Structure formats: C-alpha cells, structure tokens
Structure 1
Amino acid sequence: MFKRIVIVLVNTMLLMLLLISVVAAAQDIPTNITAKSADPISLFPITDPVTVITVTSGTDPDDSNSKTCYTDPVGPPGPPTTPCTLRRAIVEASALGPEARPILIRFDIPEDPAEGYDPVLDVWKIELYATTDTVELGRLKDGQVIIDGSTQPGGRSDGPKIILLGPGTGNKDGLVVGDVAGDNANEIRGLAFQNFRVHLYVNTNDNIIENNWFGLSDDGTEPVLRDDDPENGTGTGGIDVLSAGSGNLIQNNVFLGFDGTAASIRGEDNIFQNNLVGTKADGTIDKQTLPSLICTEVDWLGGGGLTVQGNGSQVLNNTFAGVRQQIFAISTQPSAIVVAADDIVVQENIIGIDSSDTKVGVCGRAIYLAGANDPEDSLVISNTIVNPGMSGISVNGALANGNTLWSNIIEQSNQWIQVDGNALPETAIQLGKSLPDAYELFNPAQVTEINGTSVTGSSGVGSPCPNCLVQVFLDDTDLVTETLQFLGETTADASGNWSLTLPFTLSNNQGLRTTSTSNQFNVIPGMRAGTTTKLSLLYTTGGSNGGDYEVFLPFIIR
C-alpha cells in the first residue's frame, strides 16, 4: 500500500467493512456486475428512544412555532393537542430537555383521505403549509431526534409510507438537521421529499439519513418537477451536508432530477453509501436508445450527481445512472461524482448501469477529481464505469497530488468525444492540462513481451519508475481506449522491470494496457507516493486492425 489512509469511521462495523473492501480492491472485477439497490438496511442499530411522540394527522393546518402535540405539561404524558401533526411534533421535540432524549417521532395516521391517505398507493401524503420561514419544517434542535416514517402501521413495503410535499413552486427548503453545533445524532428515515429547494440540510455531526426518496413521484417512477419545469428540476439539492457536519451516514436513499446536485458533502469524514442517484426507485431508468436522442432534452432527466468537498469522506457502493440536467446544449453536463477535497475514498461505485443491467451511461464525466480544492491523496478504487458522456476518470488541478486510481473498469461503446474549447480529448483516464507537465506526460509501464500468459515489461519510455505498482488491464482493438477487465498487478524492481502471469491467453483482437503508481515522492517528478499515471498505449500480439494508440510487439508503432 503506497499511501496512508486516514479514515474516521463512526463505529467498528464500518471499519471492518472498509478493511474488507480495500483488501478486495485488488481482486478481479466481475464482468456481469449490476447496479446496487437501495435496500432498507442500516449498519446502525435503531436507537432506543426515551420519549415517543406520535403523529396522528396527515394535515398541516398552520406554521405555528409554539403549538405542540402536548400542552400541559410540555411533552408526554400531557394531554394531546388535536391534531398532532409532524410540524407540531418537531416543535415539541425542540422543547424537551436532554433527559428526554433520544426522542422518536413516530407515525400512526388513520387510513382516511382527509388525512392524506392514498388507498391506491397505500401511502400518506402531507401537504405542508406555506410558511413564511425559508425552511418549511424548521430545524431539529438539541440533537437525538429521530423522525421515522417506517413506524407508520400498514402502508406499502416498497417505498416510504410518508410523503412530504412542499408548497407552491418548491422555493422553500425542507428541513435542517441540527440547528447549532452540538445538535448531533439525529436520524431521518423512511420519508419521501417532494417540491423543495434543498430538501434536507445537515448542519451537525453523527446523523443518519437513510431509506428516503428525494425528488421522486409518489410511485417512484419519475421526477417531481418544481413548477412543472424541467429546467428547475426537482430542487437545487437533495441533501446538503454543510461544512459543520461531520461523521454523518447517508445510505440507501434514492435521488432523482435535481438541477443542482443530488447530494453535496462539504463537511469532513462523512459516508455516502448504497444510494441510487438518477434512477427510479427500483434502480432503472427510461433511457433513450437512438444515438441522436441520447443526452438531449428528451432523454431521461436523472439530474445532478454527487459533489464531495469535505476531507476524509467516503463514497461507497452507490449507483449513478442517467445523470443529466436540462441545460443549454453548449453547457457541460454534470459529473456523476466530483471529488474536490483530500483523502477521499471512491470505491466500488457503479456508474452508467441500472438495476436491470442495462448500460445507460451518464451524460457528463463519471468521476472528476478537480475543483476549487484540488484533490490530494484520494483513492479511486474498483469502480465500474460504462458509457460516460465525457471521460471515465478525469484528474485536473495544479495542486492535485498523490491520487491513486486502481482497478477501475471503464467501458465505452462509442468513440471518446473532443469537447470544443478543451485542450484534451475525453478518454478513459484523463490527466488535465492544469496538472504539472511532468505528471501529465509521465509514461506508464510498457509491455515488452507477451508469451502466452506470461507478460514482461519495463518502465515507460523516458519515465523511470523503480518499485512502482503496475496494474494491467484488458482492452480490445476497436480503437476506443478502455479498461474492460482488471487482469492483475505486480511491483516493478529497482530498475523498473516487471512480470505478470495473465489469467488467460489473449485472442487476436485483445490487448493490454497498464498504469503505474509510484511508491515514493518524486518518482513522478514533484508528485507524492501513491500517484497513478494515465493509461498506456495498447499492447497486442498482432492480428488486429491497428490504430494510432496500438503497439504491436515487438515495438512496431502503427
């Protein structure tokens, strides 16, 4: 391992999960990998509450900040106010002292259309009052408040039973989790959010946001557009973790149709895992198949992806598919994952394949390491990327350094595009022009001989790489640069020479590509240990259709 990984985890179980997955990163990636589903599974036990407040009404008659579900005394066992709404339950929870926490806000709403019940879908829809506040449901105060829609008796089993509908054209934010520092350890579970600006702000630490829908219709099959306008999307954001929020877990949620980001993580040491981004609730999308319609205004509106700006965060086992926004044709479509921070782990995500195993792609870059904070010392490991509209993995920024790109599978059905105004064409692994020249131009390991399953090689031309880790990938000879399968890795000797045994003999239309990762500072001039190069040329044993990026051994460049 070429770099120190500093990861702050919120419990021992997550630490075990990460260690297992890092060890597995060096293994072969299955070729039939499919999208993960947002199963309602928590790595954390459900918190035992001290106080339970039961929401008994699906109405929201006013926006009072003083009415609660109990009147005398404040909190149970005082007599209930009629009705006990979600808003009043939140006000009630804010009035309780530390001895009453954790507080569970549960639901027991009658199956009555007057209470928002839909007998067809078997859900309860709470249409929120148009408050004068900028945040519809206010702020969870003093911490340890649990809002759990799954506690509603009856109801459907394939999605949230409780739906929260923002008023008007969706210009209000939904809920702020944590008002001030110290308002920690809240849980938001089993809710569907519709028609808000930012659906959920997270402002404090150690909160759990799981098994929710953001931006989806009642039945989970399409986006709920603000003001019925595709350009407005379903909101400017699903979840926004502010810079004060650290140690939060966001898992098993579904995000769809945002004109900003599905989720933005600004705080440090957060975990975003097992989520669906850009899809229906079942993980599929209705993708256009005609090339002339793909990523146009008539294609699936998956919305924006994920942006990570907080150091030490992890992006694990998510599915991103159909990511697209309704923007001008000359504008750049959003990336599925943007890494703009240090010490980030992006691992085992599936980008461009939906849950039906359909290769639907995304319209922008798949993984983009760039931004105002040039990323350093981040790990991009064992991700599967299919048919991105731009590069599979792109690294850029004058200060980007020490970023490791290992075992990523990148497949492209068409030629990589050249974006007008960009200095470089898009490709499987792109090193941008803002990077130091010595890094951008550093050549990965070269293959010197393929003899059956035996492969030998050396450092890249003009790029000595002693003791570097060499990874070898399978590609075909269709003139499209790809990493179709991870074949193995080995460590070069002090002279940069290396050897590897392939799991099978190559056919005439197959070849090899390599990357090199340095093991100490300045092997790649000016770059730290753990920096991974671009992809090599394609090395074959002959018999293919040639091309500008192919080397026929021995060393005939065509």
Structure 2
Amino acid sequence: MNESKFFWQACRLLWMSGILLVLISWGSDVPVSTAVSNISYATTITVDSSRDVSTSLSERCDTHTPCTLRRAIVQARLLAPAARPVLIQFDIPTSDVGYDASQELWELEVKSTTDPAVFRTVEGGQVTIDGTTQPHGRVDGPKIILVGPATGNKNGLIIGVNASGSHDNNIVRGLGFQNFKDHLTINSSHNTIEDNWFGLTSEGQQPYLRNDNPQDGSGSAGVVLISGAEQNLVQQNTFLAFDGVAIALRGNDNTVRHNQIGTNALGLLTLKQTSPSLLCTPEDWLGGGGISADGTGHLIEENIIAGLRQQIFAISTQPDAIWVQSTCTSCTIQNNQVGVDAEGHEVGVCGRGFYLTNTKQVQVIDNVLAETYHSALFLNGALYDANTLRGNIIRKSTPWLIPDDSPKGDDAILRFTGLPDPLEFFNPAKITHIEGTTVSGTAGDGSPCPNCVIELFLDDNDNINEALESVAVVTAKADGTWSATLPTPLADGFGLRTSSTTAQFNTIANISAGTTVGLSELYMPGYVGYLPLITR
C-alpha cells in the first residue's frame, strides 16, 4: 500500500508539471495507457472558441466558424474509417469570452438541447478529445472546463452508440465536467478516460453543486458504463459530490485505477469536520457516492476513496465506498485506500466500506479501510460464495455502531443474516498458543477446516474489532492444526485475530473453496484465552 500511495502522489506531481506520465508496474501487469502511446492521427480538428454559438445537429468545423466543441464532435462522428484516428484538440485564445485569467483556464458553457444529452454521440470510434492540448494556461488541473446548462439535468459526453465494436478506442482526457446529470457515458469498449475532474469547482477545491443545492450533488454520476462495454480504462480522475455514484461500472473486464473519489483535486478534504458531533451530518464534507460494480471481471485498484457523504434523509443509508453487486463475478478489488486521503489522514467515509452481496469469486486483497462509519466489509446474500479476503487492513478509533432495527451491529468484517447459516456462523481458526514469535492453533470450535489458509492480524486490546496489520499467512494441515512465526514478538497490549479461507468445497456446507470467514476473537499472548467478543 505504501508503494501504491507513493505512485499516486508521483502521478499527481507529474500531472501538475505538465509531463506525460508513463505508467510503470511495480509487480503487477499494468497495461500502458493509450494516453502515453504514440497515435498517428489521420485528422485533427482544432476547437478555437468557448462559445457554444449554435445547437445545430449538422454544423461542422469544416463548414462553419468558429470551431466549437459541439461542431467538432459533429464533424468527427461523420468521418470515414480512412480519416481516423481523429484528434479533437484545443487552441482557444486568451481573448476568448470563456477565459478566466485568474485561474488560467477556459470555461465552455454548453447550451441546452431538446435531447437528454447536450452533445451528439461520439460515433465511429478512434476519437480523442484532449483538453491537455490547449496551449498556455495552468498546469495543476484541466484547462478546459465543460459547464452544463440550467439546473444540470442534461447528460454530458456520450462515447459510442453501442458495444458492437464499431465505436471503440476513444480517449477523453484533461477535461473538467460541471453541472451535468451523468457527466460521461460509455457505450462502447476499449476506451480510456483519464486525467479529468468530475463535479469539482474550477479551482478544484470544492464540489460544484447543481442548482447550488447540496441535495442535488454535483450530478447523478461521473462516469457511467453500459452493459456490454468491455476493457475500458478509467484512471487518474477526480470525482466529487455525486448524489448517485461516482462510477457506475457495468459490462465486463473494465479497469478503474488511480482515481480519487470524494476528495478535492489534491486528494484532500478541504472542509472535513473533526468534531465527533458533526461527523456525517449535513455540516460535514460532501464527498458524494462511490463505485458500483455490476458485471464480470472488473479490476478496481489503487484508488483513494474518502469523505463520502450525500445530503439525504437521516434514516437513509449513506453510500458504500464500493458496492460489489451479485453479477460482479471474478472481480478483483485490491490496494485501494478507503477513508484515507492522499496525505494519509484517516478521514473516513459515512457509509460502509465494501458491500458484497450475493457475489461469487471476488478477490478483495490488500486494501486499507479506515474509520468507515458502518462496517468495513459487509458480506451478505444467500448466493454469496468463493469470495477471498486477504491482507485487508481495518482501522477504527471508535466502537462499531449498532444501528436501530438491525439484527446485528456493525463490525470490521460483518457476516450478515442473509448469508447461508453454515457460512454466517462458521468459526475462524483458533489460537491455542502464543510464545514469543511462535503461534499455533487449530480450526475454530465446531468448524473443521482441513488445509485452510489461515491469516493472522495484529490488533490492540481496546475492545474494537480491527485488523491493524497482517503478520502471517499459513496453510493448515489436513487435521486443521497449524503454526506460524511472527516477524516480531507482540508488544504489550496487542494480540492476534485470525481469518480462515477454505481449501475445498463443502468445508463450509455447500460453499466453495476460496471462501474467507473472519475475524476471530482477540487472542492475547501469555495464556490461552481471549477478550470477550460481542456476537455480530
């Protein structure tokens, strides 16, 4: 996680310096973004005005002046395959009416149309809309800001008509989006959305609220992918204050990485409350919603998700950082930091961390979840199966809540009542001996676990269930016994919790291999025993 945090901070510094970033993996297979590949464009269209002078569906930059973004999109969508790839670049003078000299950027106020979206759909594929091509201007954020009309109930850019393969390989880069409903919709595949701001004011410090109303948020969604959209890359963007979700992830095999969700452009929370009486109230920071994941094979990694809150009724549920829906089979969620800003401040989120409902074969690996208002990991659903939790760090400074009318209180890892009973009540591994760096144990009471993978987590004795550090991962023998060696002896006031991951079908009745349960009660060194645990 430290490497991930360093990488993201380096990305931001490079962006602020105006340097093209080459993504380099530090151990995983990270594909190089289209943004840094060399594309030879067959056609270049140059937007030279911020004024949206006409809402015509047919006027083009090669037939009318000035060249507006609307006209550029109309021209690009009509180009023959031989005239692609096409670059829509920007070269708007500082004398333009949309230029903001104090911030060194250009605001393009878009007129309303009778259609649900303000622009015509980007069709035909291989279209790049690149705000970073604008000469001069600032270097610490997008120079081109798109501002939606009226009360912000029109949709913004729409990329592709469908996922047939005829509208793929588009790029949207270096733009700011304000005052739209769904800011950017992706209907096709193999697109790259990067280095954009969604829902931020032009200086990047606050949410841009539709109709100046917190209940409306900055929009319904930042980036929306339709069912069927595949292998899209959403990276290095900032999302703030959406009253729905920042990213609605659908389709298959899409990647969401290195984004900031719920923060300002620097990955911080400018006006986050610190008084306990004001946390997650209408006086607190309005971070908006997180990510919803629907569809198979998605990769969600190395994102900062912090400060999430929506202006909703007190009895309503605040948004999850990531909602992993039942269709998100074989998805991977790894190395994200939830409730931790870009400078390492533990600022929390006002809902749950990850909500896994009826999911199958999901990998939840090496994430940090700090100060989630409700459960960090919430597991539920009669079809829940084969989901592996490994290396996730959970920190909480105040006791977990017991919500009104809930059959269970919140917890670090909450196995809720909708799970099959054998899974809900399966006991993680039991520790029978701690001496120095040597730890040994058995399967949990009444829960045989042959060849299971046992993970040991450090926790303190503050009566709050946490997983402060993963200190060992071992494999049990066929009889369920196991032993582990800690990197250092336990300090005073610290003990261990366990989690168990099954190695075969039916270890938990009718549940597949690869299913993780946990956390256990806290085991302290020096004796065989544990602190009392409230059953959740």
Q: TM-score, normalised by structure 1?
A: 0.89
- Give the Cα separation in 1 of the matches to 2:5 and 2:50: 41
Among candidates 427, 442, 459, match of residue 458 of structure 1: 442
Among candidates 338, 359, 367, match of residue 346 of structure 2: 359
2:330 is equivalent to residue 330 of structure 1:
no
Q: Please state whether the residue corresponding to 1:156 is helix, strand or coil.
A: coil
**Structure 2 equivalent of residue 495 of structure 1:** 479
- Give the Cα separation in 2 of the matches to 1:141 and 1:30: 41
2:339 is equivalent to residue 339 of structure 1:
no
- Give the Cα separation in 2 of the matches to 1:179 and 1:104: 19
Paired letter, 1:129: K
The correspondence of residues 33-432 of structure 1 with structure 2, limited to 5 A, is 36-37=8-9, 39=12, 40=15, 41=21, 43-44=32-33, 45-71=37-63, 81-114=64-97, 116-180=98-162, 181=164, 182-285=166-269, 286-340=271-325, 341-370=328-357, 374-432=358-416
Query: For the Cα contact (< 8 Å) 2:524–2:530, is it kept in 1?
Result: no
1:31 CA drift (Å): 12
Q: Which runs of 4+ in 1 moved over 4 A?
A: 29-35, 542-547
1:549 CA drift (Å): 2.2
Q: Please state whether the residue corresponding to 1:389 is helix, strand or coil.
A: coil
Tell which deviates more after alignment, 533-542 or 310-319: 533-542
Q: Please state whether the residue corresponding to 2:456 is helix, strand or coil.
A: strand
Paired letter, 1:362: V
Q: Please state whether the residue corresponding to 1:201 is helix, strand or coil.
A: strand
**Structure 1 385/172 Cα, relative in aligned 2: closer, same or farther at 3 Å?**
same
- Give the Cα separation in 2 of the matches to 1:209 and 1:48: 19
Query: For the Cα contact (< 8 Å) 1:509–1:544, is it kept in 2?
Result: no
Query: Deviation digits for residues 351-395 of structure 1, max 9, x if unmatched?
Result: 01111221100000011111xxx2100000000010001011111
**Structure 1 equivalent of residue 418 of structure 2:** 434
Q: TM-score, normalised by structure 2?
A: 0.93
**Structure 1 527/481 Cα, relative in aligned 2: closer, same or farther at 3 Å?**
same
- Give the Cα separation in 2 of the matches to 1:313 and 1:97: 32
Q: Please state whether the residue corresponding to 1:540 is helix, strand or coil.
A: coil
Query: Deviation digits for residues 459-498 of structure 1, max 9, x if unmatched?
Result: 0001010101000000000000000001010000111111
Q: Please state whether the residue corresponding to 1:539 is helix, strand or coil.
A: coil
Paired letter, 2:145: I
1:30 CA drift (Å): 5.5
**Structure 1 56/263 Cα, relative in aligned 2: closer, same or farther at 3 Å?**
same
Structure 2 gap segments, 5+ residues each = 16-20, 24-31
The higher relative CO (CA closer than 8 Å, separation ≥ 6) is in 1
1:275 CA drift (Å): 0.1
Query: For the Cα contact (< 8 Å) 1:35–1:353, is it kept in 2?
Result: no
- Give the Cα separation in 2 of the matches to 1:462 and 1:257: 47
- Give the Cα separation in 2 of the matches to 1:375 and 1:106: 42
Query: For the Cα contact (< 8 Å) 2:522–2:530, is it kept in 1?
Result: no
1:548 CA drift (Å): 1.8
Q: Please state whether the residue corresponding to 1:140 is helix, strand or coil.
A: coil
**Structure 1 308/62 Cα, relative in aligned 2: closer, same or farther at 3 Å?**
same
Query: For the Cα contact (< 8 Å) 1:34–1:354, is it kept in 2?
Result: no
Q: Please state whether the residue corresponding to 2:60 is helix, strand or coil.
A: coil
Q: Please state whether the residue corresponding to 2:89 is helix, strand or coil.
A: strand
- Give the Cα separation in 1 of the matches to 2:528 and 2:454: 25
Paired letter, 2:231: G
Query: Deviation digits for residues 271-325 of structure 1, max 9, x if unmatched?
Result: 0000000000000002100000000000000000000001110100000010000
Query: Deviation digits for residues 104-137 of structure 1, max 9, x if unmatched?
Result: 00000001142x1111111010000111111011
1:419 CA drift (Å): 1.1
Number of matched residues? 510
Query: Deviation digits for residues 221-245 of structure 1, max 9, x if unmatched?
Result: 0001111110000000000101021
- Give the Cα separation in 1 of the matches to 2:527 and 2:114: 71
**Structure 1 311/221 Cα, relative in aligned 2: closer, same or farther at 3 Å?**
same
Q: Please state whether the residue corresponding to 1:385 is helix, strand or coil.
A: strand
Q: Please state whether the residue corresponding to 2:500 is helix, strand or coil.
A: strand
Query: Deviation digits for residues 196-222 of structure 1, max 9, x if unmatched?
Result: 000000001100000000000000000
- Give the Cα separation in 2 of the matches to 1:513 and 1:547: 11
- Give the Cα separation in 2 of the matches to 1:49 and 1:205: 20
Sequence identity (%): 47
**Structure 2 equivalent of residue 15 of structure 1:** none
**Structure 1 30/275 Cα, relative in aligned 2: closer, same or farther at 3 Å?**
closer
- Give the Cα separation in 2 of the matches to 1:176 and 1:255: 18
